[in-house]
Amino acid sequence: MQVNIKLPQEKDRSYNVIIDELEYLKFDTKVAIITNPTVSKYHLDEILLRVSADELHVITVPDGEKYKNLDTIKFILGECFKHRLDRKSKLIALGGGVIGDMTGFAASVFQRGIEFIQIPTTLLAQVDASVGGKTGVNSEYGKNLIGAFWQPNSVHCETKFLKTLPKREFSAGVAEIIKMAVTFDKDFFEWLEINDIKEEENLKLVIQKSVKTKASVVSKDEREAGIRAVLNYGHTFAHVVENETEYKTYLHGEAVSIGIVMANELALKLGLMSNEEAIRIKYLLQKYDLPIDYEINSAEDFYEHFFLDKKSNKNKITFILPNGIGNYEIRDDIPKDVIMSVLRDFE
């Protein structure tokens, strides 16, 4: 015997990313802002003036990727219970990708799921992490391996918040912008070659453009069954670099920059792009002081480390490779000897 359970269509979960238009956020529910001491020092006062709620609480967690774990989620949930938040309450993420990923995950599990709002304060979070609903934490088994797809109700990017961002963190965000331009948008890539993202009037435009690209990808493939994987261009290599250097040497965006250069070398070997195109991408990364070199200790070990990534399944490694600038290929059929010859070039 079988009983079929019919499920209704989910309600419309679409939402807006609003750039430089944060005036007031009004809620007739309880709200908790999740942030860290670095961000709150600069920006919490302004947000407190702009948010009104039945009750407004601030939950402060320590700053750093090393605190992006289940212990911190337990702490956030504990504070939510202490403040008697309920199923109508909302969480607001005020911070970079670490705060955004953790707030989203806490929202996804608190009383089986409550709404949350993203106020991203790093460039990386404004152009990438705050959009698309990937939430989660790290564990001893790897990065972002515990999590949920849980979309925010709105995202509010304020470019003025980026004025306090350290230069290195700003550049790390640029790597994700270049990633999207190379794979999806040749005109945007060419625009980036001749313009400076740091200039105020360009910054807003670049965030808009990147968010539009990410939004279009996520709308087509929320759960990464296909095209969303293209956002991982450079990441297959970057995750190994981050892992080998124990997350201490490079910011995520910096590792992505190195990963992009490595992926391009593979694309070159397969005849997917020209030397001139690879040089133009390197040049653009260097324009923002992003690293483009990495010395591999052992190519064999590096190769084995690919299999620790959650994106590698059935012993196949998935690479996102540019097919010229503005196009991509998703490949999981590249022979080991071709991959090894690229890795040996970095040894």
Nearer to ligand NAD, 128 or 185 (CB): 128
231 counts as binding ligand GLY under rule CB under 6 A: yes
Helix H, strand E, coil C: the string for the chain is: CCCCCCCCCCCCCCCEEEECCCCCEECCCEEEEEECHHHHHHHHHHHHHHEECCEEEEEECCCCHHHCCHHHHHHHHHHHHHCCCCCCCEEEEEECHHHHHHHHHHHHHHHHCCEEEEEECCHHHHHHHCCCCEEEEEECCEEEEEEEECCCCEEEECHHHHHHCCHHHHHHHHHHHHHHHHHHCHHHHHHHHHCCCCCHHHHHHHHHHHHHHHHHHHHHCCCCCCHHHHHHCCHHHHHHHHHHCCCCCCCHHHHHHHHHHHHHHHHHHCCCCCHHHHHHHHHHHHHCCCCCCCCCCCHHHHHHHHHHCCCCECCECCEEEECCCCCEEEECCCCHHHHHHHHHHCC
317 counts as binding ligand NAD under rule CB under 6 A: no
Under 8 Å between Cβ of 153 and 107: no
Site for ligand GLY (CB under 6 A): how many residues?
5
305 is catalytic: no
The single residue among 100, 104, 132, 253 that binds ligand GLY, judged by CB under 6 A, is: 132
Nearer to ligand NAD, 172 or 229 (CB): 172
Q: How far is the CB of 148 from ligand GLY (least distance, A)?
A: 13
Residues forming a β-bridge with 331: 319
Q: Which of 43, 57, 68, 134 is catalytic?
A: 134
Residue 255 touches which of ligand GLY, ligand NAD, none (CB < 5 to 8 A by kind)?
Answer: none
Cα-atom radius of gyration of the chain, to the nearest Å?
Answer: 21
Q: How far is the CB of 102 from ligand NAD (least distance, A)?
A: 9
Question: Residues 72 to 131: which contact ligand GLY by CB under 6 A?
Answer: 128
152 counts as binding ligand NAD under rule CB under 6 A: no
- Integer angstrom CA distances of residue 260 from 31, 119, 254, 314: 40, 28, 10, 24
Residue nearest to ligand GLY as judged by C-beta position: 231
The single residue among 30, 32, 59, 97 that binds ligand NAD, judged by CB under 6 A, is: 97
Nearer to ligand GLY, 60 or 144 (CB): 144
Q: How far is the CB of 62 from ligand NAD (least distance, A)?
A: 10
Residue nearest to ligand NAD as judged by C-beta position: 97
228 counts as binding ligand GLY under rule CB under 6 A: yes
112 is catalytic: yes
Closest CA to 259 of 274, 246, 275, 243: 243
Residue 42 touches which of ligand NAD, ligand GLY, none (CB < 5 to 8 A by kind)?
Answer: ligand NAD
121 counts as binding ligand NAD under rule CB under 6 A: yes
235 counts as binding ligand NAD under rule CB under 6 A: no
Question: Residues 35 to 74: which contact ligand NAD by CB under 6 A?
Answer: 36, 38-39, 42, 63, 65, 68
Which residues of the shown chain bind ligand NAD in the complex (CB under 6 A)?
A: 36, 38-39, 42, 63, 65, 68, 95-99, 101, 121-122, 124-125, 128-129, 132, 134, 144, 161, 164-165, 169, 172, 252
Q: Which residues are catalytic?
A: 112, 134, 176, 214, 224, 228, 232, 235, 239, 252
Chain positions contacting ligand GLY, by CB under 6 A? 128, 132, 134, 228, 231
